[in-house]
Amino acid sequence: MAPRVLVSDKLSETAVQIFRDRGVEVDFQPNLGKDKDKLLEVIDQYDGLAIRSATKVTEKIIAAASRLKVVGRAGIGVDNVDIPAASKKGIIVMNTPFGNSITTAEHAIAMIFAVARQIPAADASTQAGKWEKSRFMGVEVTGKTLGVVGCGNIGSIVAQRGVGLRMRVIAFDPFLSQERATQLGIEKVELDDLFKRADFITLHTPMTDKTRGMINKDALAQMKDGVRIVNCARGGLIVEADLAEALKSGKVAGAGIDVFETEPATESPLFGIENVVCTPHLGASTTEAQENVALQVAEQMADYLTRGAVSNAINMPSITAEEAPILTPFVKLAECLGAFAGQVTEEAISSVEIVYDGLVSDMNTKALTSAVLAGLIRSQVADVNMVSAPIMARERGIQITEAKRDKSGVFDSFIKLTVVTEKQTRSVAGTVFSDGKPRFIQIKGINIDAEIGEHMVYTTNNDAPGIIGLLGTVFGKAGVNIANFQLGRNRPGGDAIALLYVDSPVSNEVLDEVRAHKEILSAKPLKFDIPPVA
């Protein structure tokens, strides 16, 4: 069945065409996102949800989204998506981090000029027939200090444009390196220094707990008298009531506001104040940017839903469309290794070590580690995948270490998983053969070569005669057909293991018969997410 996507915000129709061309069914309902009850009602019919900022993907929506695999944000900010809730449910959240950045930077520059020259008010007055030439005295931007708060994709474009306008550009961003600042031709400063020196301040940080309300009474008090402030990032960065007061007192000479604490903003303390220029979250609204983000989000979502490729995901490592086919068998192997360890481990896991040996060490090991963890945790929690597994592992306090090694044995590639609990340390290793099938090659340090099937039985025993006969007889009597039987031991008469690939599940009663034998130490039924051979 073709995957189904709902477009619930105003995306360019380019997205619809791309979804269809790539075999994805699409419902284009650009106003539906604003109706949260309607969205709640229909969301369980979709594998993907494509949005802008109007649709709020809340915990409640996510809880109702039984089929949802991916949320695609045609734009940058994902503060309208409950990412922790999506991750816990295994839903990938992706955005398009560059498609609208030039456009948004241009809007910030437009706001700087609009505020410096009071263009909107002058326009309204002129068109009202007033010709108030002396009312609208502006300021030049050349030679003024532009303070950029948040110098990422958009902030650095604004900074470059500011340099082009012959402004002195200073920037505060904890992650801005000195080299990057030099390359941009700007000065890296601390925030209080920026507040003291800037004639214009423009905000370009994401909305986080740290940045929420960063422009408040105290911050405003540190600023130059007559400062002008532009916000084309997120409304919550500014305490609107504090800014309104500072504008009224003349401390702040003007403000260009594209984004609001509450959107749609139908009222605001900033409305009606002289020299406040407002736009209704238009930062990304150009034909070029909307084409870019619609095309990109549709490609990314379709690639994920039809080919398993992951790009620009906020909550999952990227997997390119080219690497997806090579990686897929190793993802399966990683899941099986995790699933093996998860099913044989009954105590709480304290740490996990994953070694990538040979060619696999050059692959996307972040994704493979997520797959190991998904397999490991699935034995306890059914509803887990590569997105949610790392979070669940962290919540359970499991320490994870990942090591990469050059080829160290006969296999071109193998993955070895070691799981440590309070009581013991267990290890299992596996590889993928040229047929693309995963195999276990070592358990507890004992070499083995076992194809992995949907139903398996794992026994540990003392190496003694009669074990093969015992298993064959007991399973035969119970009508369980053995497809593959693999044995291994550390030394003659030492520790031995057996892995049986069986055509149907083996009941506990049957296994009890096996367990009753004096040389058998344990017998466990195992299940792997491998389709049965037809």
Ligand X SMILES: NC(=O)C1=CN([C@@H]2O[C@H](COP(=O)(O)OP(=O)(O)OC[C@H]3O[C@@H](n4cnc5c(N)ncnc54)[C@H](O)[C@@H]3O)[C@@H](O)[C@H]2O)C=CC1
Active site positions, annotated: 234, 263, 281
Q: At what angle are helices 508-515 and 467-477 packed, to 10 degrees?
A: 150
C-beta nearest to ligand HPV: residue: 75
DSSP bridge pairs for 49: 6, 71
DSSP bridge pairs for 352: 400, 419
Q: Is position 73 an interface residue for ligand X (rule: CB under 6 A)?
A: no
DSSP 225: T
Residue 172 contacts which entry, ligand X, ligand HPV, none (Cβ below 5-8 A, type-dependent): ligand X
Contact with ligand HPV (CB under 6 A) among 8, 55, 87, 100: 100
Contact with ligand HPV (CB under 6 A) among 53, 118, 343, 459: 53
Looking at beta carbons only, is 48 or 75 nearer to ligand X? 75
Contact with ligand HPV (CB under 6 A) among 284, 341, 417, 480: 284
Q: Is position 76 an interface residue for ligand X (rule: CB under 6 A)?
A: yes
- Kindly state the smallest distance separating residue 219's Cβ from ligand HPV, in Å: 22
Extract the runs of DSSP E, i.e. beta strands, from 163-219.
168-172, 187-188, 200-203
- Kindly state the smallest distance separating residue 278's Cβ from ligand X, in Å: 12
CA 417 – CA 372 distance, rounded (Å): 8
- DSSP sequence for 255-321: EEE---SSSS-S--TTTT-TTEEE-SS-TT-SHHHHHHHHHHHHHHHHHHHHH--B-SBSSS--B-T
> How many residues make contact with ligand HPV (CB under 6 A)?
10
CA 217 – CA 229 distance, rounded (Å): 14
Residue 252 contacts which entry, ligand X, ligand HPV, none (Cβ below 5-8 A, type-dependent): none
Residue 258 contacts which entry, ligand X, ligand HPV, none (Cβ below 5-8 A, type-dependent): ligand X
Q: Is position 149 an interface residue for ligand X (rule: CB under 6 A)?
A: yes
The Cβ-side half-sphere exposure at 66, using a 13 Å CA radius, reads 4
Q: Are 481 and 502 within 8 A, CB to CB?
A: yes
Q: Is position 76 an interface residue for ligand HPV (rule: CB under 6 A)?
A: yes
What are the tokens at 162? 């500011």
Contact with ligand HPV (CB under 6 A) among 77, 97, 269, 308: 77
Residue 52 contacts which entry, ligand HPV, ligand X, none (Cβ below 5-8 A, type-dependent): ligand HPV
In the block, tokens 């008090």 appear at: 221
Q: Is position 100 an interface residue for ligand X (rule: CB under 6 A)?
A: yes
CB atoms within 10 A of CB 218: 11
Q: Is position 455 an interface residue for ligand X (rule: CB under 6 A)?
A: no
Contact with ligand X (CB under 6 A) among 47, 258, 261, 299: 258
Three-class DSSP category at 527: strand
CA 415 – CA 441 distance, rounded (Å): 10
Residues binding ligand X (CB under 6 A): 75-77, 97, 100-101, 104, 149-155, 172-175, 204-207, 210-211, 232-234, 258-259, 281, 283-284
Residues binding ligand HPV (CB under 6 A): 52-53, 75-77, 100, 281, 283-285
